[in-house]
């Protein structure tokens, strides 16, 4: 058997497992991806009757997935913003990884969205006759632009591949592109800011759904601002978690410890602000907005299993607790606490997105209507799995063949203990 070797594609000086080992580890993900691709085919070919969504539960698992991965993917733009515009140089060691995470999250969300709509081929209509009052228009525009930005930001990382950079024009293009990256980081920040917000606005503007409806400033409901804040609060946490996971799986140090502290602290500070504002927002909503719409707020929480515990879990357990843990430098210094708090923070945002998408639809509005339940079909789970597997595959392949962590080489180099003697007898 001819032994194909991909050593010449792996960055020089980095230790990676054998190609066979790599393929073996990716095989389950490839299978999962193939299964998911089949589900995508089913949904596109036979229509959305393959899902368990219905006229009442018009949005389901996929929208929850989109909102969550896009919130977690906020680490990409926010890290870029801190590094290139705020000059937090230490973040250089995670920026490549952050860009890929962002790219994976956004492109994955785009795929899920394309499957989720009934007529994907009409997506361009939004650009041809947009309704400028719709939050979804804002989302479509910003995500399309930002995905382009992420793709352009991905190019220099891709061109850093050992084989690709041998090609002179690629090398030169990478070099020149890298010089203008701050411009893209600035554009990306602007775009992300607006679409993270408009994703929140998506539900906040629903006057007909008092559970989701919020008042706000100008054309934007308060969820617009809360979504931005929560996304930039957990973005760094998610970068922290993925990097830690990559370290654990590759059994190598990839970034210096200070970077984790920096990411954790950033998350902590922003999460604290978020929790405070979210609490104020919730109080206003309970006491004013929802009452004005003719709904008793606590009726929202009378349906099992969506009791008030969900509100408590979202704001205190998965909001305040990780915020305080990340804020205290003593707690943060302990790796287990840091990782745990980051996980809690990410779960908190996922729960927030879940409540806003799923609970909103489950709750009845008409007086003679009932609380609804919905459980996704296997095709829906399949598409979810495809997005997940796609992310894992892109990240794993990038990790193997691209220099994702600039510090890895130095950190894995043997420690210099003392001056060694080379010549035994001289």
Partner 1 sequence: MAATKKHRRYGMVVDIDLCTGCGACMVACAAENNVAPAPERATDRTGITPMRVYPVHNGAPGDRRQTAFLPLMCMHCSEPPCESVCPQQAVELDEATGIVTQMPQRCLGCRYCMTACPYHARYFNWWDPQWPVGMEATLNPTVAPRSRGVVEKCNLCASRLHAAEDQATAEGQPMPATYVSACVEACPTGAMVLGDLDDPDTEAHKLAKAEGTFQLLAKLGTRPKVYYHSSRPWVRSLSERNAKEQAHA
Partner 2 sequence: MFPGVNGFHWTFGHILFVSIFCMVGLVILTTAIVAAYRSWRDARLNREPRIRWQSDFHDLSDRERRCRHMLSGETKSRLCPNAFECRDCVTHPKFVELAPVAEQMVPVETYGMDFPPENYYHRGHAWVRPEENGTLVVGLDDLGRRLIGPPDHVELPAPGTQLENNGVAWRGDRNGVSFRVLAPVEGEVVETGGPDKGWYLRLRPVANKPTDLRHLLHGYEVSGWLRDELDRLQMLLSPEATGPSLADGGVLMEDLSKAQPGANWDKVMGEMFLEP
* Interacting residues toward partner 1 by CB under 8 A: 47-49, 53-59, 116-119, 122-123, 125-126, 128-131, 133-137, 140, 202, 205-210, 292-296, 299, 360-361, 364-369
CB-wise, 181 or 362, nearer to partner 2? 181
Q: Which residues pair with 217 in a beta bridge?
A: 220
Minimum distance, C-beta of residue 291 to partner 1, in the bound complex (Å): 9
One of 45, 89, 179, 330 touching partner 2 (CB under 8 A): 179
Is residue 149 packed enough to be buried (19+ CB in 10 Å), middle (13-18) or exposed (0-12)? buried
Residue of 6, 11, 216, 297 interacting with partner 2 (CB under 8 A): 11
Stretch that binds partner 2, among 18-26, 44-52, 175-183, 200-208 (CB under 8 A): 175-183
Length of the chain: 426
Alpha-carbon dihedral sign for residues 183, 271, 103, 82? positive
Locate 190 and state its tokens.
């602007």
Binding mask 389-418 for partner 2 (x = CB under 8 A): --------------x--x--xx--xx-xx-
Q: What's the min distance (Å) between Cβ of 136 and partner 1?
A: 4
**Applying CB under 8 A, does 119 fall inside the site for partner 2?**
no
Instruction: Select the binding partner of residue 136 from partner 1, partner 2, none (C-beta < 5 to 8 A, by kind).
Output: partner 1
Candidates 144, 147, 108; CA nearest to 390 is 108
Q: Which of 7, 56, 163, 207 binds partner 2 (CB under 8 A)?
A: 7
Q: Phi, psi (5° rounding) for residue 421? A: -105, 125
**Which 15-34 residues touch partner 2, going by CB under 8 A?**
15
Which of the ranges 65-73, 137-145, 205-213, 261-269 carries the binding residues for partner 2, by CB under 8 A?
137-145
Q: Which does 135 bind (CB under 5 to 8 A by kind): partner 1, partner 2, none?
A: partner 1
Binding segment for partner 2 (CB under 8 A), chosen from 103-111, 148-156, 204-212, 296-304, is: 148-156
Helices (H), 355-402: 360-362, 378-401
Planar angle of CA 113, 117, 120, nearest 5 degrees: 90
CA–CA dist 235, 317 (Å, integer): 19
Q: Which of 134, 150, 137 is nearest to 75 (CA)?
A: 150
Q: Verify binding: residue 165, partner 2, rule CB under 8 A.
A: yes
Smallest gap from Cβ 352 to partner 1, in A, equals: 17
Alpha-carbon distances of 279 from 170, 246, 286, 294, 315, rounded to whole Å = 51, 35, 10, 22, 7
Among 169, 218, 336, 366, binds partner 2 (CB under 8 A): 169
Among residues 325 and 358, whose Cβ is nearest to partner 1? 358
d(CA 278, CA 226): 7
Listed residue (343, 357, 347) closest to 313, CA to CA: 347
**Interface pick for partner 2 out of 148, 261, 328, 359 (rule CB under 8 A):** 148
- How far apart are CB 73 and partner 2 at their closest, in Å? 18
Could you give the angle at which helices 222-250 and 335-354 cross, rounded to 10 degrees? 140
CA dist 155 → 158, 161, 179, 326 (Å): 5, 10, 13, 34
Q: For residue 221, what are the β-bridge partners?
A: 216
CA-CA distances (angstroms) from residue 71 to 178, 254, 404?
Answer: 26, 24, 22
Q: Closest distance between partner 1 and the C-beta of residue 374, in Å?
A: 9
Closest distance to partner 1 from the beta carbon of 114 (Å): 11
- Among partner 1, partner 2, none, what does residue 174 contact (CB within 5–8 Å per kind)? partner 2
Residues that bind partner 2 (CB under 8 A): 7-8, 11-13, 15, 128-130, 132-133, 137, 141, 145, 148-149, 152, 165, 168-169, 171-177, 179-180, 183-184, 187, 190-191, 403, 406, 409-410, 413-414, 416-417, 419-420, 422-426
């Amino acid at each position: 058997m001819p032994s194909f070797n991909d050593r010449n594609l792996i960055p020089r000086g980095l230790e990676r497992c054998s190609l066979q080992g790599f393929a073996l580890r990716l095989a389950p993900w490839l299978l999962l991806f193939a299964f998911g691709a089949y589900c995508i085919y089913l949904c596109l070919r036979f229509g959305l009757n393959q899902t368990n969504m219905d006229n009442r539960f018009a949005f389901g698992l996929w929208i929850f997935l989109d909102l969550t991965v896009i919130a977690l993917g906020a680490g990409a733009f926010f890290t870029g913003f801190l590094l290139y515009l705020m000059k937090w140089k230490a973040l250089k060691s995670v920026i490549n990884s952050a860009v890929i995470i962002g790219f994976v999250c956004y492109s994955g969300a785009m795929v899920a969205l394309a499957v989720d709509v009934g007529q994907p081929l009409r997506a361009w209509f939004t650009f041809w006759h947009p309704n400028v009052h719709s939050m979804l228009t804002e989302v479509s525009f910003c995500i399309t632009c930002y995905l382009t930005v992420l793709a352009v930001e991905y190019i220099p990382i891709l061109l850093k591949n050992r084989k690709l950079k041998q090609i002179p024009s690629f090398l030169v293009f990478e070099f020149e592109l890298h010089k203008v990256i701050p411009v893209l980081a600035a554009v990306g920040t602007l775009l992300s800011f607006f679409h993270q917000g408009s994703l929140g606005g998506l539900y906040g503007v629903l006057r007909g759904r008092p559970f989701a409806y919020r008042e706000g400033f100008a054309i934007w409901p308060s969820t617009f601002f809360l979504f931005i804040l929560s996304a930039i609060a957990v973005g760094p946490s998610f970068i922290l978690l993925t990097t830690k996971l990559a370290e654990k799986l590759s059994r190598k140090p990839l970034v210096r410890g200070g970077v984790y502290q920096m990411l954790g602290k950033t998350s902590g500070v922003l999460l604290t602000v978020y929790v405070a504002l979210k609490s104020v927002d919730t109080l206003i909503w309970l006491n004013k907005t929802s009452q004005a719409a003719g709904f008793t707020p606590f009726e929202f929480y009378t349906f099992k299993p969506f009791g008030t515990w969900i509100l408590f879990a979202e704001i205190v357990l998965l909001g305040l607790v990780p915020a305080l843990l990340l804020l205290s430098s003593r707690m943060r210094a302990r790796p287990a606490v840091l990782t745990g708090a980051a996980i809690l923070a990410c779960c908190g945002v996922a729960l927030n997105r879940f409540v806003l998408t799923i609970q909103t639809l489950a709750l009845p509005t008409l007086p003679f209507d009932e609380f609804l339940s919905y459980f996704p079909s296997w095709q829906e789970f399949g598409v979810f799995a495809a997005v997940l597997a796609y992310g894992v595959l892109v990240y794993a392949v990038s990790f193997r063949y691209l220099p994702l962590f600039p510090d890895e080489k130095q950190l894995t180099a043997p420690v210099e203990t003392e001056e060694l003697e080379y010549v035994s007898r001289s």
